[in-house]
Amino acid sequence: METYKTIENLFERTSAFTVRLFSNPLVFIMAVALTAFWFYVHDWKAMTQTEIIRDVILAITFLSFFIIQRTFSHFSQSLHLKLNELVAAHENARNDIIKAEEKSDQEIEQLAKEHDRLIETVESKASP
């Protein structure tokens, strides 16, 4: 079980690093430069029209990945900020769920179970 936790922790850190890496504008600039270099050194005369279209679509897809990742990262960060503000502004809110996006899967599952128990308690008090 300890090995699984170690692997899961490593995977979470790797995932977080990868998201930060691929949403970095410098990495996008390097991807554009790599794509431009690839197009420059390509032997276009020896290729059929179908191969050229395939390569152009591949390049567009490759660059789109970075744009989508950046957009998602920006949206996710702004959404987390808004939610953190709402939690911090509510006097009865538990502040341990602020920055929940940085918690491990186990911590999130534990928080979810606590919230399920809280909901059951509220529902049992509300029903006659």
**For residue 12, what are the contacts with CB-CB under 8 A and spacing of at least 6?**
104, 105
pLDDT in tens, 34-56: 999 999 998 888 999 999 999 99
> How far is Cα 82 from Cα 121, in angstroms, rounded to an integer?
28
The answer to whether residues 25 and 70 touch, using CB atoms and an 8 Å cutoff, is yes
Pick the closest to residue 39 from 63, 23, 69, 21 (CA basis): 63
Helices 2-22 + 105-126 axis angle, to 10: 100
pTM for this prediction: 0.67
**For residue 3, what are the contacts with CB-CB under 8 A and spacing of at least 6?**
none
Whether residue 112 is predicted with pLDDT greater than 70 in this model: the reply is yes
**Predicted local distance difference test score (pLDDT) of residue 60:** 96
Q: Where do the domains of the chain lie?
A: 2-93
Give just the sign of the alpha carbon dihedral 71, 25, 66, 99: negative
- Taking CA atoms, 17 is separated from 4, 13, 67, 98, in Å, by 20, 6, 17, 21
Mean pLDDT of 63-71: 93
